[in-house]
Amino acid sequence: MARIRPSKPAAVFGTVVGVALLVFGLLNFPLDRPFFWLWFAVGLGIVVFNLWAAFGKNGATEIVEDDRR
C-alpha cells in the first residue's frame, strides 16, 4: 500500500487559496446568513485538508493498494 501526497508547494498554495476564500467571505457576506457559514466551512475545510495532506505524518490524499506479489 502506498500513500500519495501532494507536493508541499501545491498544498501550501491550496492553503493560501483557502485563506483567501475565508477573507473574501468575511469581507463580503453578512455574518447572519447561512451562506456565509457554508462558505466559511468550505474555506476552513480546504485549509485544514491541505495542511494535513502536506505536513501530517499519515497525511495522504489517496491510498494505492498494490496486488503485485
Q: What is the pLDDT of residues 24-63, one digit of tens each?
A: 999 999 999 999 999 999 999 999 998 888 887 776 666 6
Q: Which domain holds residue 19?
A: 2-59
Identify whether 45 is part of a domain.
yes
Q: 33, 65 in Cβ contact below 8 A?
A: no
Is residue 65 in some structural domain?
Answer: no
Identify which of 67, 59, 68, 69 has the alpha carbon closest to the alpha carbon of residue 3. Answer: 59
Asked if the structure places residue 8 within a domain, the reply is yes
The answer as to whether 54 is a domain residue is yes
Cα–Cα dist 66/69, whole Å: 8
Provide the pLDDT for residue 19. Answer: 96
- Report how many domains make up the chain: 1
Max Cα distance, the chain (Å): 57
Domain assignment of residue 31, yes or no: yes
| Separation of alpha carbons 13 and 7, rounded Å | 10
Q: What is the pTM of this model?
A: 0.77
